[in-house]
Amino acid sequence: MDFFSSENLDSLNKIYRINLVNSITGYKSANLIGSISNKGAENLAIFSSITHLGSNPALLSLFVRPNVVPRNTYKNIKEKKVFTVNHISKEKIDDAHHTSAKYDENISEFDKTNFQPEYKENWGAPFVKDSAVQLGCKYVDEYYIKENGCSMIVASIEIIFIRKGLLQNDGWVDLSKGDIITINGLDAYALPETVKRLKYARPK
Ligand SMILES: Cc1cc2nc3c(=O)[nH]c(=O)nc-3n(C[C@H](O)[C@H](O)[C@H](O)COP(=O)(O)O)c2cc1C
């Protein structure tokens, strides 16, 4: 097997280490965060750190990188207290990846890609039109991670839109029916296949 110790990691080339450490924890969710500033500047950015935090109340979390450069998504979330989470489908991978480019806050990624903003249910942030799963989220709290300067944002899921055909009778959402992709590392996009669903596990 290939082997690394923490001493090895420290001596690795920067890009190699980024690729290695970003991929070893497994496949991650792929989402576009839609937000808007107080001045009305829309923003769209890909995030792979959005995770389910709890179902009652319905919460999710995401990690924002250190504020050493302008972070438009973070700034907008703090200003407006609302944002959207939108799933990415197979045919939108290139545009989704492009939203990670560092654009000035006055330039909207909606104008630099084929994604279109969609406003509905009076939600104060743009959804991504035609995304199979769209969540309207509200900022709840923030936890600074002193070890690396990142921040964990906790948000409540306030409104949910799911494309017809994905929602199953028991509430489970079959993401594979929307060709929704996942991320391996920082630049490899994969299309998962459901192998099976199992019953709630109980001790034998
Ligand atoms: C696949 C992928 C996943 C990413 N995930 C995150 C993430 O979880 N948190 C983060 O702060 N940045 C993440 N980024 C970087 C942001 O997309 C990038 O910094 C973007 O420019 C942020 O835009 P903003 O300044 O408009 O918020 C990711 C980039 C890529 C390509």
Structure confidence at residue 99 (pLDDT): 98
Break the chain into its structural domains and give their ranges: 29-190
Question: What is the CA(178)–ligand 1 centre distance, in A?
Answer: 23
Protein residue closest via CA to atom 5 of ligand 1 = 47
Using CA atoms of 150, 47, 186, 16 in order, give the dihedral in degrees to the nearest 10.
-10
Question: What is the CA(49)–ligand 1 centre distance, in A?
Answer: 9
For the range 73-76, what are the long-range contacts, defined as Cβ-Cβ under 8 Å and sequence gap of 24 or more? Answer: 73/33, 73/35, 73/43, 73/45, 73/47, 74/151, 74/153, 75/37, 75/105, 76/35, 76/36, 76/37, 76/43, 76/125
Whether 27 lines ligand 1, by a CB cut-off of 6 Å, is no
Whether 184 lines ligand 1, by a CB cut-off of 6 Å, is no
Protein residue closest via CA to atom 9 of ligand 1 = 64
Residue from 61, 64, 65, 85 to probe ligand 1 pocket by mutation (most atoms less than 8 Å from CB): 65
User: Model's pTM, two decimal places?
Assistant: 0.97
User: 29-190 maps to which CATH number?
Assistant: 2.30.110.10
Under-50 pLDDT residues of the chain: none
Question: What is the CA(100)–ligand 1 centre distance, in A?
Answer: 5
